[in-house]
Amino acid sequence: MPKVTLKALAKHLGVSVATVSNAFNRPDQLSAELRKHILQESEKLGFSGPNATARSLRTGRSDMIAILLSDTLEYSVSDPVANQLIKGIAEVLQDAGKDMLLLSGAKAVHSTAEALPDGFIIYGSPKNPEQLERVKQSGKPLLCVDCNLRGIGSVNIDNYQYAYDIAEYALQKQPGKVAVLGLRLIDSDRVCRLQQHELYDANEAISRRRLEGYLAAAKQQRELNAEQIWHIPVNNHHYAQIAAREALTQHPRPTLLLCMSDRIALGAISVARQLGLNIPQDLRIVGFDGIEEAERSYPALTTVAQHSDEKGRIAARMLLAGDTAENVLLPCELRLRDSC
């Protein structure tokens, strides 16, 4: 049986092509009775609806927004901070009748999917300059989240200030040795300590802004040397535990760990427990992000809550409203719990 086309169905029903299209895409334009009749006849003839690709070509719109991720798809959907941000974006897009496309910025090949979206939310510092240039050249609306790109609006938090605030709070508690469990501070896939020449690197990456906040707070009481700062390449428990074990088996042992993510801090808590350390009596630990697991951990984690789901909702609303020239800084809050 030949495939039924939109035009053939319209001729069979004795109505215009636009009327059949409206039955599927704009039901408010038809009476309930006429729409029901068209859908019933369509089902009988095996017609499932107008071709979405053809409609996109006609209108120049796909009703799809892409999130251009700085990492792989696998990492982004498993990372709790990215996951919450994606969830917030999805809520707004769903309410607006839009679809969402996730694009990985970690692969070098050109994806044909880049041509589909009506706009892009760029999440994290792009790792693929060619892909970023293609997206910018598309002329479609762009908005950055957790990064800054010249000429493009953004939604961020003040990573420096909140890192400073939580470090200042933690450092007031009692004197002792401090270690920083950092995230993606240098270009290395190994857990390692920083070298002195790597301590100050003038870039705008989130991790560097947080490190600058820690360093500034510590300077009020002591200097933080490079040998007290660990680079962790991936935000997961495995790498966090490697770094935490190295830090906590030093002599003298740190009495405070400043962790650049809650996941790293939770990995450090598990290592401290294995080493027989009591928190916060022997060791104080703070995190950053405010993921749900941080509140449920034992002890509950002191952290900076950055409300990633709300960040996603705000970014999506701004993009859909065309507010792509604004730079928005969202508030965070210190959540002071038992770990410090």
Provide the CATH number for the domain around residue 26.
Answer: 1.10.260.40
CA distances, 119 to each of 46, 66, 100 (Å): 34, 6, 10
d(CA 18, CA 26): 10
Q: What is the pTM of this model?
A: 0.81
Q: Are residues 119 and 152 in the same domain?
A: yes
Q: Per the domain annotation, does 337 fall within a domain?
A: no
Do 167 and 279 reside in the same domain of the chain?
Answer: yes
pLDDT band at 211 (very low <50, low <70, confident <90, very high): very high
Per-residue confidence (pLDDT) for residue 49, from 0 to 100: 67
Assess whether 218 and 122 both reside in one domain.
Answer: no
Same domain as 269, residue 321 = no
**142 and 215 share one domain:** no
User: Is 294 part of any domain?
Assistant: yes
- The answer to whether position 336 is within a domain reads no
Report pLDDT for 169: 95
Please give the tally of structural domains in the chain. Answer: 3
How many other CB atoms are there within 10 angstroms of residue 140's CB atom? Answer: 17
Q: Which residue has the higher pLDDT, 116 or 241?
A: 241
- Residue 55 in any domain: the answer is no
Whole-number Å distance between alpha carbons of 208 and 206:
5
Based on the fold, state whether residues 191 and 276 are members of the same structural domain: yes
What DSSP designation does 115 have? G
299-309 confidence digits (pLDDT tens): 999 999 999 99
Is residue 145 within 8 A of residue 88, CB to CB? The reply is no
- Does residue 223 fall inside a structural domain? yes
* C-beta of residue 69 within 8 angstroms of C-beta of residue 132: no
Which residues constitute the domain of residue 124? 64-157+309-328
Q: Work out the pLDDT band at 77, boundaries 50, 70, 90.
A: confident
For residues 153 and 176, membership in a common domain is answered with: no
Interatomic CA distance for residues 307 and 332, integer angstroms: 7
Q: Looking at the domain assignment, is residue 37 inside a domain?
A: yes
- Taking 90 as the threshold, does the pLDDT of residue 50 lie above it? no
Task: Give me the pLDDT at residue 282, please.
Answer: 95
Same domain, 32 and 70: no
pLDDT for 9 beyond 90: no
Residue 43's pLDDT band, with cuts at 50, 70 and 90, is confident
Same domain, 295 and 213: yes
E strands, the chain, where? 64-69, 99-104, 119-123, 142-145, 154-157, 178-183, 192-193, 229-232, 256-259, 284-286, 303-305, 327-330, 333-335
Measure the CA–CA gap between 146 and 306, rounded to whole angstroms.
11
* Same domain flag for 97 and 134: yes
Give every CB contact of residue 146 below 8 A, 6+ residues apart in sequence.
Answer: 123, 124, 125, 155, 156, 206
CATH number of the domain enclosing 174: 3.40.50.2300
Res 48 pLDDT > 60: yes
Could you give the residue ranges of the DSSP H alpha helices within 98-220?
129-137, 159-171, 206-218
Q: What does DSSP assign to residue 144?
A: E
The predicted pLDDT at position 45 comes to 78
pLDDT at 204 over 80: no
Residues 121 and 222 in one domain: no
Q: Which of 29-33, 42-46, 56-60, 133-137 has the weakest average pLDDT?
A: 56-60
Residue 43 lies in a domain: yes
pLDDT of residue 1: 46
Does some domain include residue 340? no
What is the residue-averaged pLDDT of the chain? 88
Residues 153 and 274 in one domain: no
